[in-house]
Amino acid sequence: MILGISASGRQTHRDEGGKLIKGVNEEMVKYILEKTGEPYEFISLGGKTIKGCQACLGCAKDNICVMDDDWGNIRDKLLQADALVFGAPNYYGKINALGHAFLERTFSLRHREKFPLAGKLNVIVATGSQENNPAEKYIRKIFRSNYMAEPVGVLKLSGISQCYQCGYGHTCAAGSVVAKHGYLDEIKDYHLPIIDPDAYRRAEIIGHRLGEIVRRNKHHEED
């Protein structure tokens, strides 16, 4: 099983008018999972309770975090997965808080030279407006600290600003909608940023590559 996690708080949903609102990070993580051709599970951290590390060191004995939140269940799936596709957005020049908290909690897996994530196949999906995406850099740093494999692929692409979905973006002088389009009566579909079509092509290639490696590894294990 390949585990996909999106740390974005924005989940794909329908608004009050029934319009489908997609989260870019979630969509691209799912797209890569689908293209692997392997069984997968997707988890959105949106709506989950993932606390930051409290430095209690309760995990030092057995590499199991003692805090009671949603990390525990996801941790078990992470350890069992053949590979991880992890996505997070860039907020204010850093990885978002949900993504940071989740990755920070992998500290609980580093004690007494166990490193259960060592060698774990992975893919990184980083969304944001900056080309040198800080979210990607932070994810890569934490993966390396856990001795995970170098990423099979990294997908970086622009997301859609929250200003397009907050309900007030069309008249808010502080937001990105007015900055780009001026004041609007309402935000239409043609005002929305378009996901680069090339991003889907790159995501498909990454997904195929990850699936092939997972299948090859399974074949070697059977031999």
Domain of 206: which CATH number?
A: 3.40.50.360
49 found inside a domain? yes
Examine residue 185 and state whether it is found in any structural domain, yes or no.
Answer: no
Q: Is there a contact between 121 and 91 (Cβ–Cβ < 8 Å)?
A: no
Residue 92 binned pLDDT confidence (cut-offs 50, 70, 90): confident
Cβ atoms < 10 Å from Cβ of 96? 21
Work out the pLDDT band at 196, boundaries 50, 70, 90.
confident
- Reference 95, options 58, 133, 129; nearest CA is 133
pLDDT tens digits for range 102-121? 999 999 999 888 899 999 99
- pLDDT of 38: 98
Domain contains 62: yes
In the chain, alpha helices (H): 24-36, 71-80, 97-104, 134-145, 176-181, 197-222
pLDDT of 180 higher than 90:
no
On the question of pLDDT at 28 being above 70, the answer is yes
Binned at pLDDT 50, 70 and 90, residue 218 comes out as: confident
Residue (of 131, 69, 61) closest to 98 by Cα position = 69
Residue 3 has pLDDT above 70, yes or no: yes
Mean pLDDT of 44-55: 95
For residue 116, the enclosing domain spans 2-159+195-222
Evaluate if residue 60 carries a pLDDT over 90.
Answer: yes
Burial class (CB in 10 A: 0-12, 13-18, 19+), 86: buried
Strand partners, 91: 94
With contact defined as beta carbons under 8 Å apart, do 71 and 110 qualify?
A: no
Domain count, the chain: 1
Q: pLDDT confidence of 205, banded at 50, 70, 90? A: very high
pLDDT in tens, 122-169: 999 999 865 678 899 999 999 999 999 999 999 998 877 878 878 898
| Percent of the chain surpassing pLDDT 70 | 92
What's the whole-model pTM score? 0.89
Q: Which of 5-9, 30-34, 165-169, 192-196 is least confident?
A: 192-196
Q: Which residues pair with 84 in a beta bridge?
A: 3, 122
Q: 134-145 and 97-104 helices cross at what angle (nearest 10)?
A: 10
Instruction: Identify whether 169 is part of a domain.
Output: no
Which is higher by pLDDT, 221 or 28? 28
Residue 53 lies in a domain: yes
In a domain, 180, yes or no: no
Q: Is residue 176 part of a domain?
A: no
Residue 17 lies in a domain: yes
pLDDT at position 14 is 60
